[in-house]
Amino acid sequence: MPNNHAQIQKDKRQQAIGLLGGSFDPVHHGHLRSAIDVADLLNLQRIYLLPNYRSPHKTGNQSSNQHRLNMLHLSVANCEQLEVDEQEIAVPGAAYTIDTLQRMRQQHPNRPLCFLMGMDSLLSFTTWHRWQDILSLCHLVVSSRPGWSLPLTGDVQRLLADHHTDDINELQRSLAGHIFIHEAHPLSISSSEIRQLRQQGKSCQFLLPQNVNDYLIKHQLYQAAQPTQK
């Protein structure tokens, strides 16, 4: 006899969504274009950008949680494929991926979750908090850049042997459990480069959305400290 429960669950399944975490300090075209590329490649309904919490006492020339959040909202204002999720930045202290995924699974019980990461994160994945449980909640979508190679031995190699797929459709057919690796062609832009340009008093135009660039200028973010007048 057919498994009616399995058929019902299959019928309820919704289009997959992506999750992309980071500091976004500041968000730039490299973040946004890469996210759009993945959304198009995997036919994701949406990608949620998850800015992480940062202690207000952290030293260095970085912007506040509120400024980073404001810039993210500006950057996706006219993009239906990208949306800001504030759950991590709203929780002080360390935000473990497993906790975020559990909350997202509760919010989207019938939707495949695709957690986006770089190859460097995959290579250190087995050091993450409760990493053994993560693939029960989501798929891993790994962006590989030229020069990276997959491990031939160790925990990550065994993980790939059990979970790797080249079939994009598998990410829609099941709620979790697969690792998909794709070759990325990211724009050569970094948040640290933008911060450095700002400290040097140079223009950041065309490296990030115009409304975000205007926000940087208006709020004088990442500028070098002005000498004290005597």
Q: How far apart are CA 188 and CA 162, in angstroms?
A: 33
213 within domain boundaries: no
Count of domains for the chain: 1
190 within domain boundaries: no
| CATH number for 152 | 3.40.50.620
200 within domain boundaries: no
Identify the band that residue 205 occupies on the pLDDT scale cut at 50, 70 and 90: very high
In the 3-class helix/strand/coil scheme, how is the chain assigned residue by residue? CCCHHHHHHHHHCCCCEEEEEECCCCCCHHHHHHHHHHHHHHCCCEEEEEECCCCCCCCCCCCCHHHHHHHHHHHCCCCCCEEECCCCCCCCCCCCHHHHHHHHHHHCCCCCEEEEEEHHHHHCHHHCCCHHHHCCCCEEEEEECCCCCCCCCHHHHHHHHHHEECCCCHHHHCCCCCEEEEECCCCCCCHHHHHHHHHCCCCCECCECHHHHHHHHHHCCCCCCCCCCC
Mean pLDDT of the 162-184 span: 96
Structural domain for 82, as ranges: 15-181
Q: How many CB atoms lie within 10 A of CB 46?
A: 17
126 within domain boundaries: yes
226 within domain boundaries: no
Mean pLDDT of the 163-191 span: 95
193 within domain boundaries: no
110 within domain boundaries: yes
Q: Which residues contact 209 (CB under 8 A, 6 or more apart)?
A: 27, 29, 32, 74, 75
64 within domain boundaries: yes
Residue 186: predicted pLDDT: 84
Residues 62 and 31 sit within 8 Å (Cβ to Cβ): no
Residue 108: predicted pLDDT: 96
Residue 224: predicted pLDDT: 83
Predicted TM-score of the model (pTM): 0.89
Give the percent of the chain with pLDDT over 90: 77
What b/e string do you get for 195-222 counting C-beta neighbours within 10 Å, with b at 16 or more? beebeeeeebeebbbeebbebbeeeebb
Average pLDDT, the chain: 89
